[in-house]
Amino acid sequence: MIPFNKPYINSKVLCNIEKVCDNECLDKDIFIKKCEAKLRKITGSKRALLTHSCTGALEISAILTNIKDGDEVIMSSFTHPSTANAFVLRGGVPVFVDIREDTLNIDETLILNAWTPKTKAIVVTHYAGIACEMDTIIKLADKCGIIVVEDAAQCIDSYYRGNHLGSMGDFGAISFHSTKNIPISEGGVLLINNSNYIDRAEIVHKFGTNRTKFIDNKADKYEWVDIGSSYMTSEITAAFLYSQLSNIDSVTKQRLNIWNRYLSGFEDLEKEGYIKRPTVPRECWNHNAHIFYLLVWGGKRDFLLNELAKRKIQSSTHFVPLHTSKYGKKFYKYLPVTNVVSNCILRLPIWYNMPNNTVDYIIDNVKEVIYSVC
């Protein structure tokens, strides 16, 4: 079976983990500080806080946004439940907006119509590492006086007009889950781009205490000062991540080569009207090739999925839209593009150092199956 994903593992991972154990520095935060500094440099954000997950980073964002019961949060429905849960847990109400047909990102032209005096934030999900139209979204948020949170879970090493995704809103959240380009099994980072929130973010991130100031000898007592939780990651996890980040340029380059091979290989199918390939706007050209997907028309997506499995190719669908999910139906909206996309999308295998002949085998088999039923 050709797997859908093979997590990339850098050869230096064990070496760094051994350093943590040999030096008995599990509680010294040495690799945590190194990772946070490196991520600030990569993203250009004012502060980076490692978290146990991207979900944790989104939950901190909801706390910093000061979400209260009944506050509305505009977002796409074509996203992971964590995107909504972070705000629903604080009493927020997701207001779902449809996605664009080209990028599968939130349709920025529909955001203003979704705004009400109860709106507290816009949460954008950059699907497949391709940016939402951030210039327009940030202008709208400034006009309405609301917070922008970037769910950049899939976006390490992806850019919009030269800006790293997650670095343009007030807050950004990136994932290092095992399915991501730079994986550590579970982990994430909160990016803080509005300096007004840095001090409180440190507190919320560390149990709601003044731990950072106490360690830095800026407070004489270690105490509870605000709401918060244990959103931190471990020194061993940080050692793992620091190794992974050292090869980020090579990972992105390799994935882009595969992504572009797919794009070229399916050009004729799109011209013949059988499928739609991913669209990358000019301002998003510097992306990380996180996902390669096809939109398969004519109700043939599930048939193709099953036929590829018979040919030892593991492909996958993606999100059940939140507004049609069991829990999300209470926030139901009519979102025609989202509904169509969720029933048509098929994601193909893509991983670091995937051989060209494997990519070509997948392309050939997709074409063979589609032509056989059309």
Q: Which residue has the tokens 């390799």?
A: 254
44 falls in which pLDDT band (50, 70, 90)?
Answer: very high
Which of 25-34, 125-134, 336-345 has the least mean pLDDT?
A: 25-34
CA torsion sign for 39, 40, 44, 46 is: positive
pLDDT surpassing 90 at residue 21: no
Residue 46: predicted pLDDT: 98
Q: What is the pTM of this model?
A: 0.96
Which residues are CB-neighbours of 75 under 8 A, at least 6 positions away? 83, 84, 94, 95, 96, 97, 106, 122, 123, 124, 125
373 falls in which pLDDT band (50, 70, 90)?
Answer: confident
pLDDT surpassing 90 at residue 24: no
29 falls in which pLDDT band (50, 70, 90)?
Answer: confident
* Helix, strand or coil, per DSSP, at residue 173: strand
**Structure token pair of residue 317:** 């669908």
* Mean pLDDT, residues 216-222: 93
* Helix, strand or coil, per DSSP, at residue 21: helix
What pairing do the DSSP bridges indicate for beta strands 345-348 and 119-125? unpaired
3-state SS, 175-236, equals ECCCCCCCCCCCCEEEEECCHHHHHHHHHHHECCECHHHHHCCCCCCCCECCCCCECCCCHH
What does the buried/exposed string (b/e) look like for 57-84 if buried means 16 or more CB atoms within 10 Å of the residue's CB? Answer: bbbbbbbbbebeeebbbbbbbbbbebbb
Tell me how far CA of residue 177 lies from CA of 99, 187, 188, 318, in angstroms: 25, 6, 8, 16
**Structural element, H or E, at residue 19:** helix 13-22
* Mean pLDDT, residues 37-58: 98
Q: Give the integer Cα–Cα distance in Å for 96 and 110.
A: 10
Domain at 13-245, CATH from 1.20.1530.20, 3.40.640.10, 3.30.1370.110, 3.40.50.2000: 3.40.640.10
CB contact at 8 A, 112 and 141: no
Digit-coded pLDDT (tens) for 322-337: 999 999 999 988 999 9
Residue 172: predicted pLDDT: 98
- 149, β-bridge pairs: 123, 171
- Can you spell out the DSSP letters for 35-76? HHHHHHHHH--SEEEEES-HHHHHHHHHHHTT--TT-EEEEE
Which of 5-19, 140-154, 188-202 has the least mean pLDDT?
A: 5-19
Digit-coded pLDDT (tens) for 139-178: 999 999 999 999 999 999 999 999 999 999 999 999 999 9
Residue 122: predicted pLDDT: 98
* Mean pLDDT, residues 124-134: 98
Neighbour-count burial of 98, counting CB atoms closer than 10 A to its CB (0-12 exposed, 13-18 middle, 19+ buried): buried
Please state the domain extents for the chain. Answer: 13-245, 248-373
Residue 28: predicted pLDDT: 73
Q: Give the integer Cα–Cα distance in Å for 321 and 76.
A: 9
Q: Tell me the Cα Rg of the chain.
A: 21
Percent of the chain with pLDDT over 90: 92
Query: What is the CATH class of 248-373?
Result: alpha beta
